[in-house]
């Protein structure tokens, strides 16, 4: 039973790892049009917006301004083209500061 679970976990890991590995091995050799490269550079910001936006109104149902402030901070930093992680951490920090105060 335990060995079956271990084989299942390893198999699932390989199934998710291989599709992520293959493009990274061959991406250096591929050339894309400028518009497509711009599109690829914007994907992290789009993904961040899709992940953050639903949470903006769910932070504190009694005071929705906490979530709106965090979302605005994340949007501003993304607009300034800062790394996605910086935008997320800043949004969390803004929410924590407003919540504490």
Span 38-96, pLDDT tens digits: 998 888 878 877 877 787 777 777 888 888 898 899 889 988 989 888 988 998 899 89
Highest mean pLDDT among 1-5, 27-31, 51-55, 56-60: 1-5
C-alpha distances in angstroms, 52 versus 33, 81, 94?
A: 30, 16, 14
Output the pLDDT for position 54.
82
Spell out the domain ranges in the chain.
Answer: 1-30, 32-100
pTM of this prediction exceeds 0.75: no
- Nearest-10 Cα torsion for 33, 37, 38, 42: 150
Quick one: residue 81, left, alpha or beta (phi over 0 = left, psi -120 to 50 = alpha)? Answer: left
Tokens 């917006």, residue? 49
């Amino acid at each position: 039973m335990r060995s079956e679970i271990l084989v299942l976990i390893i198999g699932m890991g390989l199934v998710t790892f291989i599709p992520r590995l293959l493009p990274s091995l061959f991406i250096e050799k591929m050339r894309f049009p400028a518009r497509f490269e711009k599109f690829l550079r914007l994907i992290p910001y789009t993904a961040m917006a899709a992940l953050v936006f639903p949470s903006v109104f769910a932070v504190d149902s009694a005071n929705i301004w906490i979530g709106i402030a965090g979302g605005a901070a994340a949007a501003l930093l993304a607009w300034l083209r800062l790394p996605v992680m910086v935008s997320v951490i800043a949004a969390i920090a803004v929410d924590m500061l407003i919540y504490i105060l």
